[in-house]
Amino acid sequence: MTPSHTYHVTNPATGETLESFPAATPEEVEAVLAAATEAFAEWKRTSLESRTRTALRISELFAERIDELARTISIEMGKPLSESEEEVEFASAIFAYYAEKAAELTADREIESYSGGRAVIEHLPIGPLLGIMPWNFPYYQVARFVAPNLILGNPIILKHAESCPRSALAIEQILHDAGVPVGVYTNIFATHEQVATMIADPRLRGISLTGSERAGAAVAEQAGAHLKKVVLELGGSDPYIVLDAEDVAAAADTAWETRVYNMGQACNSNKRIIVHEDIYDVFVQQLTVRAAGLRPGDPLALTSETYSPMSSRGAVRLLKEQVDDAVSKGARLHAGGETSGSSGFYYSPAVLTGVTPEMRAYSEELFGPVAVVYKCRSDEEAIRLANESQYGLGGAVFSVDTERAAAVASQLEVGMASVNTPAAEGPEMPFGGVKNSGYGRELGPLGMDEFVNKRLLYIAD
């Protein structure tokens, strides 16, 4: 049987398909599972110090290859080159963080025993894991899943997004060049049916997925049927509350830069901007100024007057449908919202107000560069608007009165609440949500606490 070419490199700036890769064969899927199982027996017995040294070398290789790696994803999914470089640096930092903290985060923990003897909680690997990764942060998303689990001793099978085959192969090459043994990390261009096959296989012990609600629900159902641990990081429609500001223009700058980062294609982007009525009009006007007059640009040479493409034609189509639906029902489009006449996947950054519950934009995630702004008259109304969502990933609150902002932030139904910053970010900061945004955590100390056998070792007197 000849495998179909389901993995493609399509340049979003031009719409040109540059390269295709065949999906894995059933024999390759079996070989990957067998190799991971065999490698687990050896990798879990490798010393923590050795696994840590390997992680440090991976960190170094990401840093050494930054130019090549950054250019790859700029061409592959349209990320501006400067942001691509930042992503590579972040991936490097994640591996370095877990290498530095490995001994501390995996240390045995003695607990009190009421019946004498000695009771210890051990942190042990559980076996081969499957990572199902998205296209919007091709290196960072992989790093935050792989780094802690590689150090723990869990082999990784990595199924990347169909639009990111070059970056998927680049990551695999880095890990192999760093000395990761065969079978401990394997990239596979699997189909959805093959993913289901792997989840059902008893040799696989856990799954981590970052993606859509639909994908998360399907994988969780499959994992549940086979009693597999699963971590899900799904969509988000994060509230971004601005209660007041000494400098409204500066506050609008921060909100705008946050919203259009990665062309708005981030799970924890500020998709619902809630602004107090005292500064609302000026805030919206300032956002509109920033959105107006932008033109399509080359991700490899972006300027302050240009914007990069979205990841795919389908992404542009969906976003346009959502915004058009809102406008047809009475919302106001202040600027942007235009598709390019060129062959690239461009959608001009937009400012949208007057969104109400009967519009799709009120409840759906807008995964693109649209700043939706709501007016609130009180802290209580801001909290109500913020929590009136099926999502619960992150949220931010801004005020010159830090205690007031913290009081509002404490009432957000989210997995990550930030005060006077768009989001707390860093390898040490746990990432994850509640409600339809998924469950489980990555990064920080919690990121090494998911796919672990927290085994009780009890030694009687």
What is the chain's pLDDT, residue by residue, as a tens digit (461 residues)? Answer: 445 668 999 999 999 999 999 999 999 999 999 999 999 999 999 999 999 999 999 999 999 999 999 999 999 999 999 999 999 999 999 999 999 999 999 999 999 999 999 999 999 999 999 999 999 999 999 999 999 999 999 999 999 999 999 999 999 999 999 999 999 999 999 999 999 999 999 999 999 999 999 999 999 999 999 999 999 999 999 999 999 999 999 999 999 999 999 999 999 999 999 999 999 999 999 999 999 989 999 999 999 999 999 999 999 999 999 999 999 999 999 999 999 877 899 999 999 999 999 999 999 999 999 999 999 999 999 999 999 999 999 999 999 999 999 999 999 999 999 999 999 999 999 999 999 999 999 999 999 999 999 999 999 99
The CATH number linked to 385 is 3.40.309.10
Together in a domain, 57 and 157: yes
pLDDT at 5: 66
**Under 8 Å CB-to-CB from 181, ≥6 apart: which residues?**
39, 42, 43
Residue 20 tokens read as 């295709």
C-alpha distances in angstroms, 31 versus 22, 25, 27, 260, 359? 16, 10, 6, 42, 48
Helix axes 140-152, 48-64, angle to 10 degrees: 160
Is residue 196 domain-shared with residue 277, that is, in the same domain? Answer: no
Does any domain span residue 189?
yes
Would residue 309 count as lying in a domain? yes
* CATH code, domain with 107: 3.40.605.10
Using an 8 Å Cβ cutoff, are 261 and 269 in contact?
A: yes
* 52 and 170 in a common domain: yes
**Statement to judge: residues 60 and 90 lie in one domain:** yes
Asked if 148 and 264 sit in the same domain, the reply is no
Residues in contact with 285: Cβ distance below 8 Å, sequence separation at least 6, in sequence order: none
β-strand 229-233 against 239-242: which pairing, if any? unpaired
| Alpha-helical runs (H) found in 153-247 | 165-177, 192-200, 213-225
Whether the CB-CB separation of 286 and 248 falls below 8 Å is answered with yes
Longest alpha-carbon distance in the chain: 78
Confirm whether 1 is domain-assigned.
no
With contact defined as beta carbons under 8 Å apart, do 231 and 209 qualify? yes
Cα(274)–Cα(125) distance, integer angstroms: 43
185 in any annotated domain: yes
- Based on the structure, what is the number of domains in the chain? 2
Q: Which two tokens stand for residue 29?
A: 């899927």
Tokens 């700043």: give the residue: 371
Closest CA to 134 of 79, 182, 179: 79
Question: What is the per-residue burial (b if ≥16 Cβ within 10 Å, else e) of 254-285?
Answer: bbbebbbbbbbbbbbbbbbbbbbeebbeebbe
Same domain, 217 and 287: no
Does residue 431 lie within any of the structural domains? no
Active site residues: 233, 267
d(CA 371, CA 375): 13
The SS3 assignment for 454 reads strand
Residues 201 and 252 in one domain: no
Q: Which domain holds residue 405?
A: 239-426
Say yes or no: 219 and 254 in one domain. no
